[in-house]
């Protein structure tokens, strides 16, 4: 049977008239022997074979090359039929047609063998994919192809780039091609005017190959470039690039600081509510994060076929689990220790140890991996220097949404009104008929539930383990104290301030020393402002 069915699909995709296609037999197609040879060719033959397939197939072989590049191209041991084999994070194997993407259900996965590939062949495939996309791709694909060719400006690629620039109408694509051509001018014996024009084209460009090329010319005080005027232009261009790189590196550090701050906000916001209303130092608050993270893991184990939707199930489930555990702790432990902060601290510390040991007993002490859904994977590449990961972007947005919802609950609902009344003057609120014990339970449950949601977010950034909460409990208390006990806006400002400060100090001091410096700063700060940045106001604030 060989791979005739694939060849028929390829023949149908070619631009020849339909009447002509119908008269061509599969065995007459030049791709037939090449695709057959692909299944058993040795690695020395593969690069030239890929080039021949590219010339014969054009755009139609792009999915084939991409599958081979990813190591996902297989063939049936008997029929030699080419198949794309993908395995999901849940372990499910999917077999699809290489060329049209149709799911294949009648093929035995155990009878498949992988088409061999190595790093040298991957480089050849990357260049072939770039050439195909430059000629046949859409606007984004052509720009990406030209960007890839910056690192591989051989004679064939330069011919393609010169042909492409003549008819290119899209400014972004044309600019990328001009960068490639300018790089080629610098490595040839071009006249001074052409070299100066090429440097002007590269001025401020952040592409890695451009930076490497200019740096190579400026190494050893510019010995590689003899023309003083060209060397000066290169130095100016490199200085402009380095200024931009430093700026975007600062932007990336700020983003990671905001990302850390968003996690601290989720972890501390529930603590701020319970601490502000009840005055309880809850050392088990970190374990509420841990429970939320493990709830996410369990949800994914229960619905492995729906990983992309599991997070939406895990968020309310983690809120419910952590909230109920928090209410249980308040009703059966903390309410009997009102007015005794030291005993409350010791009791909640003991509860945290019990919860950690319970998790070790149920799930084992080993860390558990929670899979990120597809829509949270990858990154947003703003430019070659600045790239923002999608999971951190979503968590940052999610933390702000949770903050707004909690603010609305405290400002616009009857529960929020009672919580504010109890936090401002518990005795007066009780005299007015407010059930303060019920408010305490609901508040503790709300704070613990939000901590569970923070655990869901943390599961997307790190492995889930029994000690997960211990890494954030001290930071959460620092945020609450720094921002002002019981003040949500203070918690917001404190979380993002400490997060950004930590990330800016880490490159200079290291992660551990950065935390120590932050802790020392908090200690000194509360000597000056014991009530934090935004202290509560009113006669009962003391």
| Inter-axis angle of helices 192-202 and 171-186, nearest 10 | 130
Query: Could you read off the pLDDT of 236-246 as tens digits, one per residue?
Result: 899 999 999 99
Query: Could you read off the pLDDT of 300-316 as tens digits, one per residue?
Result: 989 887 888 889 999 99
Give the count of domains, the chain.
3
Return the SS3 of 239: helix
Residue 49 gets the label, from left (phi > 0), alpha (psi -120 to 50) or beta, of: alpha
The neighbouring-strand residues paired with 348 are none
Identify each DSSP E strand in 366-492 by its residue range: 379-381, 387-389
pLDDT on residue 251: 93
Q: Show contacts of 103-110: CB within 8 Å, 24+ apart.
A: 107/76, 107/81, 107/83, 109/85
For residues 8 and 44, membership in a common domain is answered with: yes
pLDDT on residue 7: 43
d(CA 51, CA 134): 16
For 537, the token pair is 């106001």
Last residue of a domain, one of 96, 121, 146: 121
| CA-closest candidate to residue 72, choices 94, 57, 50, 56 | 94
Last residue of a domain, one of 86, 121, 156: 121
Q: What is the CATH number of the domain that holds 496?
A: 1.10.3470
Does some domain include residue 383?
no
For residues 425 and 297, membership in a common domain is answered with: yes
Strands 379-381 and 82-87: unpaired
Last residue of a domain, one of 177, 194, 226: 226
Does some domain include residue 199?
yes
Q: How many C-beta neighbours within 10 Å does residue 149 have?
A: 26
For 3, the token pair is 């791979």
pLDDT on residue 9: 45
pLDDT on residue 3: 46
For residues 64 and 199, membership in a common domain is answered with: no
pLDDT on residue 141: 79
How does DSSP assign 280-339, residue by residue?
A: ---TTHHHHHHHHHHHHHHHHHH-GGGHHHHHHHHHHHHHHHHHHHHHHHHHHTGGGGTT
Strands 73-76 and 82-87: antiparallel
Question: Residue 38: exposed, middle, or buried by beta-carbon count in 10 A (0-12, 13-18, 19+)?
Answer: buried
For residues 330 and 266, membership in a common domain is answered with: yes
Structural domain containing residue 325: 247-368+393-528
For 386, the token pair is 């600045």
Q: What is the dihedral of CA 371, 375, 378, 382, to 10 degrees?
A: -150
For residues 310 and 417, membership in a common domain is answered with: yes
For residues 104 and 217, membership in a common domain is answered with: no
For 244, the token pair is 């931009």
Identify each DSSP E strand in 20-88 by its residue range: 73-76, 82-87
Does some domain include residue 377?
no
For residues 507 and 358, membership in a common domain is answered with: yes
For residues 326 and 405, membership in a common domain is answered with: yes
pLDDT on residue 258: 92
Average pLDDT for runs of 10 along the chain of length 542: 43 42 46 78 83 81 84 80 76 78 76 82 82 80 82 78 80 86 84 87 87 81 65 88 92 91 88 76 88 93 85 93 92 84 87 92 89 85 87 91 90 83 78 83 89 91 87 85 82 91 87 86 87 66 50
| 524: Cα within 13 Å, side-chain hemisphere | 6
For residues 352 and 327, membership in a common domain is answered with: yes
């Amino acid at each position: 049977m060989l791979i005739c069915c694939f060849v028929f699909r390829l023949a149908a995709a070619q631009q020849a008239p339909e009447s002509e296609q119908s008269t061509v037999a599969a065995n007459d197609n030049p791709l037939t022997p090449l695709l057959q040879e692909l299944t058993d060719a040795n690695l020395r033959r593969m690069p030239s074979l890929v080039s021949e397939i590219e010339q014969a197939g054009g755009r139609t072989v792009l999915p084939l090359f991409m599958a081979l590049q990813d190591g996902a191209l297989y063939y049936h041991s008997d029929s030699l039929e080419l198949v794309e084999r993908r395995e999901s994070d849940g372990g499910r194997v999917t077999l699809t047609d290489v060329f049209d993407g149709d799911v294949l259900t009648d093929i035995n996965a155990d009878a498949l063998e992988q088409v061999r590939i190595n790093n040298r062949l991957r480089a050849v495939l990357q260049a072939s994919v770039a050439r195909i996309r430059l000629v046949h791709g859409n606007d984004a694909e052509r720009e990406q192809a030209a960007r890839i060719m910056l690192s591989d400006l051989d004679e064939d690629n330069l011919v393609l780039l010169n042909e492409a620039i003549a008819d290119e109408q899209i400014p972004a694509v044309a600019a990328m091609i001009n960068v490639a051509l300018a790089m080629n001018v610098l490595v040839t014996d071009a006249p001074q005017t052409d070299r100066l024009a090429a440097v002007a084209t590269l001025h401020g460009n952040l592409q890695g190959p451009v930076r490497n090329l200019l740096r190579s010319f400026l190494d050893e005080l510019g010995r590689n470039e003899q023309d003083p005027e060209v060397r000066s232009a290169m130095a100016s261009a490199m200085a402009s690039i380095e200024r931009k790189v430093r700026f975007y590196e600062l932007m990336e550090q700020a983003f990671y600081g905001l990302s850390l701050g968003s996690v601290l906000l989720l972890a501390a916001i529930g603590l701020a509510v319970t601490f502000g209303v009840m005055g309880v130092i809850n050392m088990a608050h970190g374990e509420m994060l841990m429970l939320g993270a493990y709830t996410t893991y369990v949800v994914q184990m229960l619905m492995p076929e729906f990983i992309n939707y599991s997070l939406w199930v895990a968020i309310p489930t983690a809120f419910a689990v952590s909230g109920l555990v928090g209410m249980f702790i308040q009703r059966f432990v903390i309410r009997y220790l009102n007015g005794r902060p030291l005993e409350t601290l010791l009791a909640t510390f003991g509860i945290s140890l019990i919860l950690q040991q319970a998790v070790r007993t149920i799930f084992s002490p080993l860390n558990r991996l929670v899979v990120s859904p597809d829509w949270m994977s990858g990154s947003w590449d703003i430019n070659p220097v600045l790239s923002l990961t999608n999971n951190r972007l979503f968590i940052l947005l999610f933390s702000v949404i949770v903050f707004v919802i909690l603010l609305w609950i405290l400002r616009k609902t009857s529960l929020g009104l009672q919580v504010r009344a109890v936090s401002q003057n518990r005795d007066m609120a009780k005299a007015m008929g407010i059930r303060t014990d019920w408010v305490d339970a609901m508040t503790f449950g709300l704070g613990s539930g939000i901590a569970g949601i923070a655990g869901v977010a943390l599961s997307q950034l790190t492995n889930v383990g029994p000690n997960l909460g211990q890494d954030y409990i001290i930071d959460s208390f620092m945020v609450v104290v720094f921002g002002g006990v019981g003040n949500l806006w203070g918690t917001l400002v404190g979380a993002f301030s400490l997060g950004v400060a930590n990330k800016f100090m880490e490159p200079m001091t290291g992660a551990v020393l950065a935390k120590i410096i932050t802790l020392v700063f908090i200690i000194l700060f509360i000597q000056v402002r014991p009530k934090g940045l935004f202290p509560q106001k009113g006669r009962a604030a003391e």
